[in-house]
Structure 1
Amino acid sequence: MPTRERPLSPHLQVYKLHTKIAPVLSISHRITGMLMFVIGTLFVVYWLGAAAYGPESFASAQAVFGSPLGYLVLFGWTVVLMYHLCNGIRHLVWDAGHQVSIAGVRLTGMVMLAAVAALTALIWIVGLAVAL
């Protein structure tokens, strides 16, 4: 039986990542899901563990979270969380059958990235205003 030329499934060698927004956002969605889980879990476990060990340990954990590095990690986690949330909503829009054209994918990608920036900024502005 002769072999036929069969279509190949898309993969990283087929995609031109520098010209296409969809594969970059798709790969980023998976990466942010993992980062959100790992960073969030480590922070919560550290914070709860410190609370369980007593006031001195909890104060130490609070100092870590309040340090410049702690703020940077929390900011990064907020960006990751908002990215994953907004891109999940984008996928729900697609699942409803809306914006599934090439132009729609580009548009929703740009809207999603703007929403990530706006929501992250809003969270940090409100959070810092309440903290001060």
Structure 2
Amino acid sequence: MTDVDLKGKRPISPHVQHSAYKVTFSMATSISHRLSGSALYAGMFFLASWLIALAMGPEAFDFVQSLWGSILGRLVLFCFTWAMMHHMLGGIRHFIWDIPAMMEKPQIEFLYVATVVGGIVLTLILWIIGYAVM
């Protein structure tokens, strides 16, 4: 091993609360992808409760259906739908990068924006279709 003095020459990672630390769009998209994955994990409990109530009979199903039909229940379902769409598009983005394709900076930034905008647009389209067939 060489006698190189590395003390004091190593880069120091900035702390999150450091004033010079800048939140980038790619960082925010990555964090939202992780949060949407966690939200999907938690949301499966609500889907399971609906399926269990369906198996238990009409009274249990009507109770759970009234919870999901309320304003708060629909807001939770709307957020769950957004989490599914955002997480799915984030997965497609990572699949594209695994190919590897669209690896230039402008293309990468386009994929970040497409993930966020696409998640919102797909969620709205699904809910519009859902209300149209209801």
Answer whether TM exceeds 0.5 for this pair: yes
CA–CA distance in 1 between the matches of 2:110 and 2:75? 30
Q: Please report the TM-score for the alignment, with normalisation by the length of structure 2.
A: 0.83
Identity score, percent: 37
The AA in structure 2 aligned to 1:36 is: L
How many residues matched? Answer: 128
- Relative to structure 1, the CA distance from residue 123 to residue 10 in structure 2 (aligned partners, 3 Å threshold; closer, same or farther) is farther
Aligned to 1:85: 88
Secondary structure of 2:127 counterpart = helix
Q: 1:104 to 1:9 in 2, by over 3 A?
A: farther
Q: Does 1:100 align with 2:106?
A: no
Pick the aligned partner of 2:72 from 66, 69, 72: 69
Aligned to 2:22: 16
Give ranges in structure 1 of 5+ residues lacking alignment: none
User: What is the TM-score of this pair, normalised by structure 1?
Assistant: 0.84
Partners of 2:74 and 2:104 in 1: how far apart? 39
Q: 1:11 to 1:106 in 2, by over 3 A?
A: farther
Letter in 2 for 1:35: A
RMSD: 2.1
| Moved segments of 4+, more than 4 Å | 7-15
CA distance in 2, matches of 1:80, 1:8: 34
